[in-house]
Chains A and B, each alone.
Chain A
């Protein structure tokens, strides 16, 4: 038996939307095994199904057929609290609540483990403080979240996901509102989580440069609804990125992993 230590597995999964009789299938018959401790970036054009794939894996959206297992548990059959102890999420949406402190926001991640009144034990507090230092936001701890910049807020949301203590973290375009240093901070934190905490991280992004530098694996969803996966340096990936994004004005350089712009005004 050469079974690998896979944490997430997709078995014959087709994703998309079903409305009455109409089926809009975005990806067909996907079968994947994902190992522990990997940083995976999902790339592809807008509206191609990156978010739907993430939503489907997270259990929020039903696949058209097939099953998704995390630790051997079918995500679409698992009770909400069990699922919440397996997968945590970070979305693009800006969270705004009056008078909510960063610490309280992060501590909310303990929800699946707490009793109905939600009082944190010393152990819970330890986990919260560890996540705060992992994401480097000790100084923001007692700040009101409405006073944070977008980058700081996203770090707090990631700390909240860490606190949820799941083996998988899914992030849907976590860096889309952030400036270049904010983006880098997020990717460094995520990479640290993979290497130090052995977490499996799956994120969708339009930041190809960051994705290619940090990811252990790239999932590319092409315009003709093909799913291509591989190491960022793999020829199959660099070639696919080229065919997917190259145009009259844009040329992907596989050697350096960057895009060159051509334009005339």
Chain B
């Protein structure tokens, strides 16, 4: 186990790696189909293929279910899983902390503040209840909240050199925002409270066919930045002191990674609500699976593993054994937290 495959060129041409990536892709495809099959109404896989490729089916209702509901949900799951996993990977390397995740900079708290002001603040700030029910309004409120926090963290990290300090500031800011959200919850009506609670449980089903291209575009920009910074991220594994002695522009790398994470995790939280533990746990799965620290391998691996994990969670959440589908955030946490526990408990090779 101590022998690692060295060098990027050898890795991308290595049979084991090609096989691994191929089997991940295959798993993704299978789970994608299963996700379309599973639901309150089970639609046979064969029918799904004909609906997807020939746009016809023996049951007209099934076409609607697939096109209007399950397909957007499955695509959202793929995008969300990939985006959260990549941003988690970036944060873990940037902060050199295995327990960092995409929300460490306060992104989800910021989005929660925006959404809670919209939903809960209705009575306080006389925002019309109609607006609070509108999905676009919720997405925009989430975006504004997340961007506001990110802007603060961004300005802070430009002035403060020590990333540990930035980390602590992010956590403290999140706590303060959560306190503000609690105030809003305390003063709000029962119905508003219920709809806010439902937002915090996350949902992959909230997006319609018009919103998915928007989300896809934002995340693709995030992925491109992640790929561009994957080589400097490798060097950052040695710490910022070594990285800057090797000519890595620490400031630009930090800015690039933070922009990428904001686009990825920020957009997902705004569109789908908070989705816990995927971003924290998947990078570890990818590292274990690929047995490398090379981000040029880990970024695509996280994209695949994250999508697979999110599809898997969505399938679990929408099994037809319940009356209605389970809240996705609880499922991702139930699946993701044990992975994090495994990371903490696994024997430390470095210690002798």
Q: Chain A interface (Cβ within 8 Å of chain B)?
A: 58, 60, 80-85, 87-89, 91, 93, 95-101, 103-105, 107-109, 111-112, 114, 116-120, 125, 141-144, 146-147, 164
0/1 interface trace, chain B 284-305, chain A, CB 8 Å (1 if under): 0001000111101000000000
The answer on a CB contact under 8 Å between B245 and A98 is no
A112 vs chain B, min Cβ distance (A): 4
The answer on a CB contact under 8 Å between A80 and B248 is yes
Residue of B nearest to A122 (CB): B9
Residue of B nearest to A84 (CB): B247
Given contacts A80-B247, A118-B231, contact A108 B238 (CB under 8 A): yes
The answer on a CB contact under 8 Å between B8 and A119 is yes
Among A91, A100, A111, which residue has its beta carbon within 8 angstroms of that of B246? A111
Given contacts A91-B242, A93-B239, A142-B3, contact A118 B234 (CB under 8 A): yes
Chain A to chain B: the 9 pairs with minimum beta-carbon distance, closest first: A84-B247, A103-B6, A89-B245, A81-B247, A118-B231, A101-B4, A97-B237, A146-B350, A112-B247
Q: Judge if B56 is at the interface, Cβ distance under 8 Å.
A: no
- Chain B residue total in the interface (Cβ 8 A): 32
| A/B interface sample: 21 pairs, CB < 8 A | A87-B245, A88-B246, A89-B245, A91-B241, A93-B239, A95-B237, A95-B238, A98-B287, A103-B6, A104-B7, A105-B238, A108-B246, A109-B246, A114-B231, A119-B9, A142-B2, A142-B4, A142-B5, A146-B350, A147-B350, A164-B246
* Separation of A101 and B237 alpha carbons in the complex (Å): 12
The answer on a CB contact under 8 Å between A60 and B244 is yes
Q: Judge if B235 is at the interface, Cβ distance under 8 Å.
A: yes
Among B7, B248, B291, which residue has its beta carbon within 8 angstroms of that of A103? B7
| A contact residues around B246 at 8 Å (CB) | 84, 88, 108-109, 111-112, 164
The answer on a CB contact under 8 Å between A99 and B6 is no
The answer on a CB contact under 8 Å between A111 and B247 is yes
A149 vs chain B, min Cβ distance (A): 8
| B contact residues around A146 at 8 Å (CB) | 349-350
Given contacts A99-B293, A143-B3, contact A120 B245 (CB under 8 A): no
| B contact residues around A119 at 8 Å (CB) | 8-9
| B contact residues around A141 at 8 Å (CB) | 6
* Separation of A114 and B232 alpha carbons in the complex (Å): 11
| A contact residues around B247 at 8 Å (CB) | 80-85, 111-112
Given contacts A97-B293, A144-B4, contact A111 B248 (CB under 8 A): yes
Q: Judge if B175 is at the interface, Cβ distance under 8 Å.
A: no
* Separation of A81 and B235 alpha carbons in the complex (Å): 13
Q: Judge if B228 is at the interface, Cβ distance under 8 Å.
A: yes
List residues 195-244 of chain B with CB under 8 A from any CB of chain A.
Answer: 228, 231, 234-235, 237-239, 241-242, 244
* Separation of A97 and B244 alpha carbons in the complex (Å): 17
Q: Judge if B128 is at the interface, Cβ distance under 8 Å.
A: no
The answer on a CB contact under 8 Å between B7 and A120 is yes
Residue of B nearest to A143 (CB): B2
Q: Judge if B50 is at the interface, Cβ distance under 8 Å.
A: no
Q: Judge if B249 is at the interface, Cβ distance under 8 Å.
A: yes
The answer on a CB contact under 8 Å between B296 and A118 is yes
A200 vs chain B, min Cβ distance (A): 16
| A contact residues around B249 at 8 Å (CB) | 80
The answer on a CB contact under 8 Å between A116 and B228 is yes
| B contact residues around A58 at 8 Å (CB) | 245
Q: Chain B interface (Cβ within 8 Å of chain A)?
A: 2-9, 98, 228, 231, 234-235, 237-239, 241-242, 244-249, 287, 291-294, 296, 349-350
Given contact pairs A142-B3, A144-B4, enumerate 16 new A-B contacts (beta carbons under 8 Å).
Answer: A85-B247, A95-B242, A99-B292, A99-B293, A100-B4, A104-B234, A108-B246, A111-B247, A118-B234, A119-B8, A120-B9, A125-B7, A142-B4, A143-B3, A143-B4, A147-B349
Residue of A nearest to B250 (CB): A80
| B contact residues around A105 at 8 Å (CB) | 238
* Separation of A93 and B243 alpha carbons in the complex (Å): 13
| B contact residues around A101 at 8 Å (CB) | 4-6
Q: Determine which residue in A60, A82, A84, A85 has the highest number of CB atoms from chain B within 10 A of its CB, and name it.
A: A84
* Separation of A142 and B292 alpha carbons in the complex (Å): 12
* Separation of A141 and B6 alpha carbons in the complex (Å): 8
Given contacts A114-B231, A116-B228, contact A96 B6 (CB under 8 A): no
The answer on a CB contact under 8 Å between A93 and B241 is yes
| A contact residues around B5 at 8 Å (CB) | 101, 142
Residue of B nearest to A113 (CB): B247
B140 vs chain A, min Cβ distance (A): 35
The answer on a CB contact under 8 Å between B349 and A108 is no
| B contact residues around A125 at 8 Å (CB) | 7
* Separation of A117 and B228 alpha carbons in the complex (Å): 8
Residue of B nearest to A108 (CB): B235
Given contacts A117-B231, A117-B296, contact A95 B239 (CB under 8 A): yes
* Separation of A95 and B245 alpha carbons in the complex (Å): 14
| A contact residues around B4 at 8 Å (CB) | 99-101, 104, 142-144
Q: Determine which residue in B8, B234, B242, B350 has the highest number of CB atoms from chain A within 10 A of its CB, and name it.
A: B242
Given contacts A80-B247, A116-B231, A143-B3, contact A99 B287 (CB under 8 A): yes
* Separation of A114 and B234 alpha carbons in the complex (Å): 13
A199 vs chain B, min Cβ distance (A): 16
Given contacts A104-B293, A104-B294, A117-B231, contact A84 B7 (CB under 8 A): no
Given contacts A116-B231, A146-B350, A147-B349, contact A100 B244 (CB under 8 A): no
A133 vs chain B, min Cβ distance (A): 15
* Separation of A95 and B222 alpha carbons in the complex (Å): 29
B13 vs chain A, min Cβ distance (A): 12
